[in-house]
Structure 1
Amino acid sequence: MVSKSPLDDPEKAAYAWARYRRIMRLMFGITIGVVLIAIALLYDGEGTESIHFYIAVALGIGFTMLLTSALMGLVFLSNGTGHDAAVDNNLPDNEVD
Structure 2
Amino acid sequence: MTRRSPLEDTETAAYAWARYRLMMKRLGLLTAAIVALALAALWKTGSAESLHFYIATAIAIAGVMLLTGALMGLVFLSAGTGHDEAVEDRLENPHDDEED
Look up the match of 1:93.
94
1:36 equivalent to 2:36? Answer: yes
Look up the match of 1:6.
6
Query: Displacement of 1:86 after TM fit?
Result: 0.5
Contact 2:42 2:48 in 1 (8 A): no
Query: Displacement of 1:90 after TM fit?
Result: 3.3
Letter in 2 for 1:75: V
5+ residue gaps, structure 2, are none
Query: Displacement of 1:38 after TM fit?
Result: 0.2
Look up the match of 1:23.
23
The percentage of aligned residue pairs carrying the same residue is 55
5+ residue gaps, structure 1, are none
Relative distance call for 1:58 and 1:82 in structure 2 (3 A) is same
Q: TM-score, normalised by structure 1?
A: 0.90
Relative distance call for 1:83 and 1:68 in structure 2 (3 A) is same
Look up the match of 1:54.
54
**Aligned mates of 1:48, 1:59 — CA distance in 2:** 15
Relative distance call for 1:52 and 1:89 in structure 2 (3 A) is same
Q: TM-score, normalised by structure 2?
A: 0.87
Number of positions where the alignment pairs a residue of Structure 1 with one of Structure 2: 95
Q: Report the aligned-residue RMSD.
A: 1.8
Deviations 1:5-47 (A, max 9, x none): 0000000000000000000000000000000000000113758
Deviations 1:46-94 (A, max 9, x none): 5861000000000000011000000000000000000001011133626
Look up the match of 2:84.
84
